[in-house]
């Protein structure tokens, strides 16, 4: 994986720091409430739809519509678990030019010069995360995993500042703080 990352760097770009996601739980304190809320809402929707289909409430409902809605409902709470699984595979890098997130097959990054806002924050479980961009720093802790997984939309014009990016639950906290002080001094703790 190390050679794969190096081969995908810009010419002359140097890796200054590299880490991964520290051990996390899918349903930790930060994410359990959202999971349970999604599960309850989806259970109520499922009960109503099944009731409609079985004829407890008058009206005609197509089974395909019910199945589609049930599948969508099932995805909402499962996403917490899927996100946790995805974020466990991430590697975080700081180079002399960019912040990078790699999942092994894909490399996403943002140029340091386009970053106007960034902050290091800790969630209720004690995970330290780097939140980048005006949208990123306002993101609630139960969405921080998504910042690292999704990254900055590629449709943003090159001259625009970065709005959304992040590293989630960084294992090498001290190393991250040290390198950010060198390459991105605007980061607040």
Separation CA 13–CA 65 (nearest Å): 51
Q: Determine the pLDDT at residue 157.
A: 73
pLDDT digit string, tens, across residues 56-104:
555 555 677 677 777 877 777 777 788 888 889 999 999 999 999 999 8
Residue 182, SS3 per DSSP: helix
pLDDT digit string, tens, across residues 24-48:
888 788 877 777 887 888 888 878 7
Separation CA 20–CA 139 (nearest Å): 21
Architecture of domain 2-24+90-183: Roll (2.30)
Q: Is the pLDDT of residue 51 over 80?
A: no
- Express as a percent the part of the chain with pLDDT over 90: 41
Band (146; pLDDT cuts 50, 70, 90): confident
Parse the chain into domains and list their residue ranges. Answer: 2-24+90-183, 29-85
Side-chain-side CA neighbours of 105 within 13 Å: the count stands at 1
The structure tokens 């900055």 sit at 152
Report pTM: 0.80
Separation CA 91–CA 170 (nearest Å): 9
Burial status of residue 183 (CB atoms within 10 A of its CB: 0-12, 13-18, 19 or more): middle
């Amino acid at each position: 994986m190390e050679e794969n990352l190096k081969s995908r760097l810009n010419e002359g770009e140097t890796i200054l720091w590299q880490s991964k996601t520290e051990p996390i739980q899918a349903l930790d304190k930060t994410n359990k409430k959202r999971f349970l809320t999604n599960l309850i809402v989806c259970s109520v929707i499922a009960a109503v739809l099944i009731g409609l289909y079985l004829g407890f409430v008058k009206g005609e409902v197509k089974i395909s519509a019910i199945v589609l809605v049930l599948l969508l409902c099932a995805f909402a709470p499962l996403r917490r678990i899927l996100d946790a699984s995805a974020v466990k595979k991430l590697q975080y890098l700081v180079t002399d030019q960019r912040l990078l997130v790699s999942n092994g097959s894909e490399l996403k990054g943002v140029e340091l010069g386009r970053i106007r806002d960034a902050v290091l924050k800790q969630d209720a479980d004690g995970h330290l995360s780097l939140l980048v961009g005006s949208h990123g720093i306002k993101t609630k802790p139960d969405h921080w995993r998504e910042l690292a997984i999704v990254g900055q939309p590629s449709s943003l014009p090159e001259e625009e500042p970065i709005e959304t990016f992040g590293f989630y639950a960084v294992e090498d906290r001290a190393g991250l703080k040290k390198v950010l002080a060198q390459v991105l001094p605007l980061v607040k703790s």
